[in-house]
């Protein structure tokens, strides 16, 4: 059994969730010269589920290479990526406040999907083993006025979040219905994460 894992994510929410679940982890963050944003580019015509799983796989490859390059102690590496989808349209992290407002206006009064892919890689004496899973949840927002959206965007909470909102923050106030994994909407689905970590030999409750 592994005593700890590496979390290759800059998301404080993922770190918080793992701590709640009693998983010991150390951060394995990118070097300054690594272009992580390039990994998140959407391919033409790419479906949301294919996109989020492909990006998570790329992040895992980059993280495992980072682990080897730094000569760190061998342990499972966990990566995840979350995207919001309105039909086949992928809503990533807004580039600025205006884009955040547009995203939220599109989501207001409608039902959308939140997809989070998780992957674990574990170096072994015979090479590398990997496990992956996908969580799909549905979220329905109440109608929102332009003033509500602007106040929310001005709070800064939507920036850096897929779909321009945080379900655990003020966006909860207009979330009418959720179907699926609440922690998955936050960025790390509990059930799927437990599955891939257990498969990699990580001790869980």
Q: Which residues are catalytic?
A: 81
Nearest one of 25, 36, 29 to 58, comparing CA atoms:
36
User: How far apart are the C-alpha atoms of 116 and 105, rounded to whole Å?
Assistant: 22
Is residue 7 a contact partner of residue 58, using CB atoms and an 8 Å limit? no
Cα-only R_g, the chain = 17
Distance CA 144, CA 59 (A): 35
């Amino acid at each position: 059994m592994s005593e700890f894992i590496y979390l290759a994510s800059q998301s404080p929410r993922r770190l918080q969730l793992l701590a709640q679940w009693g998983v010991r982890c150390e951060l394995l963050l990118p070097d300054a010269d690594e272009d992580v944003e390039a990994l998140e580019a959407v391919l033409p015509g790419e479906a949301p589920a294919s996109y989020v799983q492909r990006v998570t796989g790329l992040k895992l490859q980059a993280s495992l290479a980072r682990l080897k390059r730094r000569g760190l102690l061998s342990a499972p590496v966990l990566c995840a990526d979350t995207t919001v989808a309105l039909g086949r349209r992928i809503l990533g992290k807004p580039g600025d406040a205006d884009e955040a407002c547009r995203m939220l206006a599109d989501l207001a009064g409608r039902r959308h999907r939140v997809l989070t892919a998780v992957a674990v890689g574990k170096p072994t004496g015979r090479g590398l083993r990997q496990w992956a899973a996908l969580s799909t949840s549905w979220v329905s927002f109440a109608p929102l006025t332009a003033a509500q959206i602007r106040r929310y965007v001005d709070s800064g909470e939507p920036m850096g979040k897929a779909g321009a909102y945080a379900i655990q923050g003020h966006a909860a106030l207009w979330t009418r219905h959720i179907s699926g994994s609440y922690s998955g909407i936050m960025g790390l689905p509990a059930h799927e994460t437990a599955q891939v970590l257990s498969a990699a030999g990580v001790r869980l409750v």
